Amino acid sequence: MSGATGTFRSMTHNVMDGTAQSSPAQATVASTISAYAPVGHELEAWGAVGPEVRRWVTAAAPGHRRRALQLLYAGAHLASWCVGQGIAVQASTCLRDATIERFCAVAEADGRYSSTTRATVRARLRYLAAANAVPGNRPAPPRLARGQVRPPYDADEVRSYLLLADSQGSAERRRRLRALLLLGLGAGCGPQDLRQLRGTDVVDSSGVWVLVGGPRPRRVPVLDAYAEALLALAAETGGRLMVGGWKPDRRSVTTVVLHRVEGGADLAPIEPGRLRSTWLTTHLRNGARLDVVMAAAGLRTPTSIVELARYLGPVPAEEAERCLRGRPSVPAAQRARG
């Protein structure tokens, strides 16, 4: 996908904000889709790819005109790029996870997308892919009601995310993504905790601790599995922010970090809430008392912890009986030795 940067930006301003000059203000979604034509270089291939892109957007059933325009914009750019790459313009090829990821990475590398625009367009293309049931794509995660506890990650997912962090293209991206993962998985830090957290807030005092400030100040011991790596990362970071960037007071400092992740199209999205849930369930599986976990997590009520109980899995009958009879716990290492 080539063309003048000025034309690209003009198209961005006309369509990304939902105002297409050629569409009547009161047009219905259906007429908007049928009448849509992109601006600039993408117009050259539109006669060939337009009907297919319109099918993608129609299948997505946008609820209003602006949403239709947003999806058409993303689909038109992707289809035009696919033509240049010799990729057949059909949902099963263009809307594959790998194709979407490659397209967005190339657009950002060429300077046509900022990291924020890349993330926005990628999300819209993935929405189109889900609506068109593209075979081979990773299933979209189920939508949860606002405020509902996020499910934890499994061990394989955690390993994949740590490897993904190590594969990022710049030292800064590697450092910030690793910090997000290690602080979430090792100390249960959420976006609010990360806003002002610096490398100097990770200390080694008879074990590694995270000194969390903000509205829920506390001293959190780091799980041993992540302690050494987090301490080394904190020493590298020094007085700089571990995750936050140039606007540490923004609502979520994790947004920019996650928008700039390279690769991982075959993985479930990284969510700070799920990292925290993974940390919480680790403590529950280890038998930590509810009040102890609440204090470490900065929670006032146990609601979210109680909801996570369903992810713990069944307890062996022998262990359940031991708990209910008040007998001392047998350490896992001792049980393994028999």
In a shared domain, residues 108 and 226: no
In a domain, 183, yes or no: yes
Beta-carbon count within 10 A of 2 CB: 10
Q: Which residues touch 98 (CB under 8 Å, ≥6 apart)?
A: 265, 266
Q: What predicted TM-score, i.e. pTM, was given to this entire model?
A: 0.61
- Domain end position, chosen among 108, 131, 154: 131
> The CATH number of the domain where 227 resides is what?
1.10.443.10
When divided into structural domains, the chain yields a total of 2
| Within-domain flag for 84 | yes
- 114 and 190 within one domain: no
Q: What is the pLDDT of residues 164-209, one digit of tens each?
A: 999 998 999 999 999 999 999 999 998 889 988 999 999 999 999 9
Mean pLDDT, rounded, of the chain: 82
Report the alpha-carbon distance of residue 202 to residue 190 in Å, rounded: 15
Q: Which two tokens stand for residue 125?
A: 């293309």
| 57 and 164 fall within a common domain | no
Query: Are residues 221 and 177 part of one domain?
Result: yes
Whether residue 76 sits in one domain with residue 27: yes
Is the model's pLDDT at 306 over the cut of 50?
Answer: yes
Owning domain of residue 257:
144-326
Q: Is the predicted pLDDT of residue 223 greater than 80, yes or no?
A: yes
Q: Let me know whether 299 and 151 are in one domain.
A: yes
